[in-house]
Structure 1
């Protein structure tokens, strides 16, 4: 009844466990966004970003700080260690910023600190595309006032964000010739419009016993209302605005576009609440999209970038792998057992142990995610291991003639010590990894808890439930059934022959096996090192910077032309061109930048499409800077870093000033040549790009000579070049701005045809009053905790030491410094830390085994099997073209845990049998007794993981290196436990006396 109660609680726990893509973890990053009107990048860096960086350097757990100063805006990114308490970091950063505000420019608004989380990535996007060339302003109004409200009512939705919207406006296009003829300026028109668009506010008048509120009926509502307004000329004539300017309905000049499949559209990004279940929210989202299609047939609605597909595919594949693994293990049991009852017995323990492990999940607060499910898949082989060993030992007792009840009791009691020890040794390998810092610890915690849960439950089931079930299944049999199948008997015969041959010349064979130990060191040098494994994705994000002073319309034309070239192979494309309107965005795009999202059919077409796109950009727009990355998802938000793999950074000795452009160009040019010669794929960093700007100088001498007010000239320049809002027409929730139309004339003509008036009323053209000069400056100024730097990015490569030395020598000759940065430094640190923890695990393992065997020598036999298993893992990784990364290293840990169990079982049997017979007989007998559980454990573990190699999705891609490590290591490890342990044991103890001489018959 106790078991039934636990199973009921386990089912309830499984029902309530949250389903998520990844373990709950905070994104270890803060973003500070600043803005300062009319500030150049140098001013933004000097007056705003540098003081903030200095203040933030003392934040706890801060690893890196990066800032980018651009025209009028600045961004600071703070990178923290994984596992850092981000809520405290957020509060502390705000406190430091509040104390710093008095030292920042007074005219700037308070900087905004953004705490990133997984919910910042929208769960899906809804594309709203006009079918029959409807006005995008009307579509935008529908999206903002209707669609957004309906989406916000869905349960689980936290934010509905829009981009690509247009705003209706009344456009006033001045007739400069008419204005000059009447002696008027643009200021006269704007003053007339503003004067007639006033509101009285809360005014009231008393009339006897009554009081009435006053309402002004002179409010403007249409282009005709503005056109009929009048202006008084200096000559005293009253002229309607219709004779001075053309007023018509239009749109606010966009600074950015959104395109979907090369059509202008409005995109609605839907964000979910942190606690919301994506599997429940997404069906409702698709249902409301269908309602939109029915309600608004003149528009197309398409749901794109659905993050739930990634969750369903990843979780579904791992669940399928778990089921297939269990089925394969069941088949292996049938193949090795001589009767049906034993496989059924072990098969019953499989679902029971799995269900009980979910109860442990509930107790530890672990969700069902790709990490915890992979831990269950890994523990599947170990789970069956305990059941196989116990049932095998009970069967051996029965075969020796021991009664059924005594066989169940004695067989289980004899296996308690070695199995408990094997679980403890496995945990000794696993538990230290939970305390890893950074990405390794974040990834491993859920997996370690899952493995520990399944080991603990399988041990309890093997000791408490299996003997009971064994007795119930076999109590009515009058004869003892065969324990071994014909297949296993053939394998046993082959093993006896091989064992006999190996023991005949045990020293030679042992020497040959020991020669394999250095193989792991050789393979370690051949396999590339990497932080995370390569994840096969079919979509990509391309960040484009044209590196030219483009109008946003030209940016759009270029972008759509590029996307048209990919129509044959791209399934779907989106583009954010120019500035974005999203509330949640970490970076500020300019009108010369574009961000593209492209979905391909498969990875091969993705590679082909990206290569074609980069080739066309290089041919048509050689100045453009292109950066292609995988499309972001929740996993990338948690674990990926947008920083390049490596980066060369030049800076002055003080780091307080940018490097002169001429010096930097010479250095980066030579470094780029070295990059091309070595296929490193270098790209200029943001702080290296330059742009052409106009320097405007107002001739103060002429203003004084002509008696012209300075503000008069500034106002005329704003009218010519700025996006001037005259006033806003308000009608409840609708606001329609009245804009001055910017002139389309050439720059020189604009200045020649625009005039400023002196105090005496005489007019002078602006080209007499201002001077314009071309100059070049840095588009952005990048800095870190050491100061300003200029960089060359190497997204997928690390430069060799000779290349770095050459670049450093060139920089030193000009009095500059060069350092190398990037993700690869952190990757190496993580792997190095993993090696240290593994060393600690080995030490713990030695002490546990010494206590179990009561020997200081026998644990060495177990530990010497580990390099053989590592060599097998590295060999399969090398043959499969994989890297040595965090996941493959974790796979080695799992593999070593299984190998240790096999070696412990073999040595424990030998020690037990040496009390009854001579050494060689004990070794041979122990080998035969241990062969079946060792083979079945290894085969079931390998087959349980094999489906992951053929699965797809993020979960499978992430676990594939881990699975290869386990399979390669177990293949070699099984052979080592079968032959290496007996050979080494015999070599060490052949000249010693037995533990206890056998009693003479």
Structure 2
């Protein structure tokens, strides 16, 4: 993806600059910026991986250099004979000073727009903070290159041509750009003649696009493809670990028939490190997948996962299967307590009451569109062996309660009596009754305890030995008991699903005072991330406003430039709708990013208009606005097209780990395309409206 991005940027640079030498000079910004970023990453301990490098846009990195190079080349072509005689160094210095401030502030705005992303915490912070830092480091490097390296190298490229005063500096002929210039000049003239209508209609279209955002669903993150499938099988409660493990070969046989699968690992019971409190009826299946390039075009991972689950459900109808992916499932279980998309927890004291409420919620969820793999995470009550020691009876026989407990421990559980040393190794020697003497309740009742006078007393004369109904595991939340209903959500967004479910639960499931219903799982992350974005996005807009005001020193030009944020917002929303994506944290980070990037187009245009000193009369003001806007068209086209094309590989990538980057890249591309359309048309008309009689 990185190589594709660099290649696309170089080709587009040649197209816009008209010279392969100039294009290569600007392209030198990429290795310079990456080297600068890698040095800072090394110093700050940020690793180079998919999270830090996955969404780097080389088009954004070279934007400052493109603006500098394009302005210098245009200035060389306009230089008079007297200026050329004074030397290219002076022309270069004066020209670089004209746009240096704009480049500095534009890049500063881009960096500042990424800073609020660093406020994100938990999963979303881990995913996007490395990208924000890495891109900020690279953009700082590109700014240094644009302000120092590019003017020097461009002057070397054009030194011979500019110094030769006997001939003019030839202008590169580009049929496509020349055609766009003519059409734009003609269109802009008509728009400026009706500048108020232009602004009204243009902004109305933008607000309509923004209004489409109400149709966007919401989710925490898109499903991240880890290149594997993780299936959890819950056998009927009470099954032993030995019997559970006998089904593992059958499970592997059912799955292994598919050629797309490279390996299958099954694990019965809880994991080896004991971090997951799962009972003996749990069986986890990790399925490794071959490279997708080897797959048929007619099959996808989603289809394959569904086929595997269907086959397992047919082969083992009494087992409840749920599917996911190993890494994200483990992370979600640690962070929220459940790997499901949605976990509805009933918290209280009475387990029987809570179980009945959970059963009611399960029936509601099963009837809802989009629900999948619905079940209660905690197993229901099952028979347990209870040995209740009667203290009066033990005292009558002169036996201590601890003596009875020791016999039970040694006979049933096993007890270490000594240690065997083998060099540096140590082994506990454990004594335990043979299986046939502890296999049923009658054998346990006949266990003998020695009294003080040496008599052997059966345990059933000292304790009540029986089977009772009891919980296999009890989950707690803030000191209270908890039962959780889990479900995955397929084919619809999480927010609408939860709102519908919440309404149905409120109508049909009544919980007593002291009990509460909590919505968690991935939805818990979505709620937290949504609150963070509600802080991050306004903070980004506020920081951009402050920096623009420090550039212009007036509210008018600041607000004109910030109109680009609205253009980008409408385009980003439209792009998500067209690709069928939900709004998620990745898309939210994309919106934060384009708020800084899109403003660069407005800064170029408004700053150029300010430098042109729009005249007193309406006629001269209009002509100046039209002339300057036409001159800046190529610069705006180049920076926005470069930024868009540089992100296309990330937006279309299907490799492992690309799922999180695609919504982000889609939002940026859509936002920049809409800025590319609206900024050259609306900004000049808006500027002409607000500055009709600006004095020289």
TM over 0.5: yes
1:845 is matched with which residue: 516, 519, 544?
A: 544
| Residue 747 in structure 1 maps to residue 440 in structure 2 | yes
CA contact (8 A) 1:438 1:830 kept: no
- Of 408, 419, 422, the residue aligned with 2:103 is 419
Query: Which residue of structure 1 lines up, in the alignment, with residue 324 of structure 2?
Result: 629
Does structure 2 conserve the Cα–Cα contact (< 8 Å) formed by 1:877 and 1:964? yes
- Write the deviation string for residues 81-131 of structure 1: whole angstroms up to 9, x where unpaired: xxxxxxxxxxxxxxxxxxxxxxxxxxxxxxxxxxxxxxxxxxxxxxxxxxx
Equivalent pair of 2:358/2:376 in contact (CA under 8 Å): no
Q: In the TM superposition, what is the alpha-carbon distance from 1:828 to its structure 2 partner? A: 2.6
What is the rounded CA distance, in whole Å, between the counterparts of 1:576 and 1:665 in structure 2?
28
- The equivalent of 1:143 in structure 2 is none
* Contact 2:232/2:285 (8 A) holds in 1: yes
Residue 351 of structure 1 and its aligned partner are, at CA, apart by 2.4
* Superposition map of 1:169-248 within 5 A: none
TM-score by length of 1: 0.60
State the alpha-carbon separation in 1 of the partners of residues 438 and 45 from structure 2: 66
TM-superposed deviation, 1:348: 3.0
Residues 405/777 of structure 1: CA separation in 2 closer, same or farther (3 Å cut): same
Aligned match of 2:205: 516
The residue matched to 1:333 in structure 2 has which SS?
A: helix
Candidates 470, 473, 485, aligned match of 1:777: 470
Which secondary structure state, in structure 1, belongs to the residue aligned with residue 224 of structure 2?
Answer: coil
Distance 1:454 1:727 in 2: 64
Higher gyration radius (CA): 1
| More displaced stretch, 544-553 vs 792-801 | 792-801
C-alpha distance in 2, partners of 1:452/1:715?
A: 66
Q: 2:60 aligns with which of 382, 390, 395?
A: 382
SS at match of 1:857: helix
Q: Tell whether 2:79 aligns with 1:395.
A: no
Q: Give 1:337's match in structure 2, choosing from 17, 21, 29.
A: 17
After TM superposition, give the deviation of residue 927 of structure 1 in Å. 1.8
- Asked whether the 8 Å contact 1:429–1:845 carries over to 2, the reply is yes
What is residue 945 of structure 1 aligned with on the other side?
647
Where does 1:553-952 land on structure 2 (aligned, <5 Å)?
Answer: 553-569=242-258, 570-582=261-273, 585-601=274-290, 606-608=301-303, 610-612=305-307, 614-615=309-310, 624-632=319-327, 636=331, 641-643=336-338, 644-652=340-348, 657-659=349-351, 661=352, 663-679=353-369, 680-681=371-372, 683-687=374-378, 689-697=380-388, 721-723=412-414, 730-732=421-423, 733=425, 735=427, 737=429, 740-743=433-436, 747=440, 750=443, 772-785=465-478, 787-796=480-489, 797=494, 799-801=497-499, 803-808=501-506, 812=510, 817-822=515-520, 823-915=522-614, 918-952=620-654
Q: Secondary structure of 1:882's partner?
A: coil
- Is the 2:5–2:647 contact (alpha carbons within 8 Å) kept by the matching residues of 1? yes
Matched, 1:995 2:695: yes
TM-score by length of 2: 0.84
Match of 2:222 in 1: 533
CA distance, structure 1, for counterparts of residue 153 and residue 218 of structure 2: 49
Partner Cα separation in structure 1 for residue 654 and residue 686 of structure 2: 42
Per-residue displacement from partner, 1:41-85 (whole Å, max 9, x unpaired)?
xxxxxxxxxxxxxxxxxxxxxxxxxxxxxxxxxxxxxxxxxxxxx
Deviation at residue 800 of structure 1 after TM alignment:
4.2
Shift of residue 527, structure 1, vs aligned partner: 1.8
Determine if contact 1:328/1:943 at 8 Å carries over to the other structure: yes
* Cα pair 1:539 1:630 within 8 Å, conserved: yes
- The structure with the greater share of residues assigned to strand is 1
SS class of match (1:586): coil
1:370 aligns with 2:47: no
1:794 aligned counterpart, secondary structure = strand
Counterparts in 2 of 1:879 and 1:754: CA distance versus 1, 3 Å: same
Quote the offset at 1:735 in angstroms. Answer: 3.8
Partner of residue 448, structure 1: 132
Instruction: Write out aligned runs for 1:48-87 (5 A).
Output: none
The question of whether the paired residues in 2 share the 8 Å contact of 1:876 and 1:964 is answered with yes
Query: In structure 2, how many angstroms separate the alpha carbons of the residues matched to 1:698 and 1:362?
Result: 65
Distance, in Å, in 1 between the alignment partners of 2:173 and 2:585 is 40
Deviations 1:687-725 (A, max 9, x none): 563222122356788878999997887676566644466
Any conservation in 1 of the 2:54–2:131 contact (CA below 8 Å)? yes
Give 1:775 shift.
Answer: 2.1
Deviation at 1:749, TM superposition (A): 6.1
Residues 1:746 and 1:616: Cα distance change in structure 2 (over 3 Å):
farther
- CA-CA distance at 1:676 after TM superposition: 0.8
Distance 1:634 1:563, change over 3 A: closer
Aligned length: 664
Aligned to 1:101: none
Root-mean-square deviation (Å): 3.6
- SS of 1:956's equivalent in the other structure is coil
1:974 and 2:654 correspond: no
Q: 1:562 touches 1:616 (CA, 8 Å); kept in 2?
A: no
CA shift, 1:979, in A, is 0.9
| Alignment partner, residue 304 of structure 1 | none
3-state secondary structure, aligned to 2:202: helix
Q: SS of 2:222's equivalent? A: coil
- Distance between the aligned counterparts of 1:424 and 1:352, measured in 2? 18
What is the CA–CA distance in structure 2 between the aligned matches of 1:638 and 1:443, rounded to whole Å? 17
Greater helix share, structure number: 2
SS, match of residue 252 in structure 2: helix
On the 8 A contact 2:66/2:635 being kept in 1, the answer is yes
Which residue of 2 is the match for residue 284 of structure 1?
none
How far off its partner does 1:684 sit? 4.4
- CA distance in 1 between counterparts of 2:517 and 2:332 reads 27
Aligned-pair CA distance for 1:395: 1.9
**Where in structure 1 are there 5+ consecutive unaligned residues?**
1-320, 997-1001
- Give the CA deviation at 1:872: 0.8
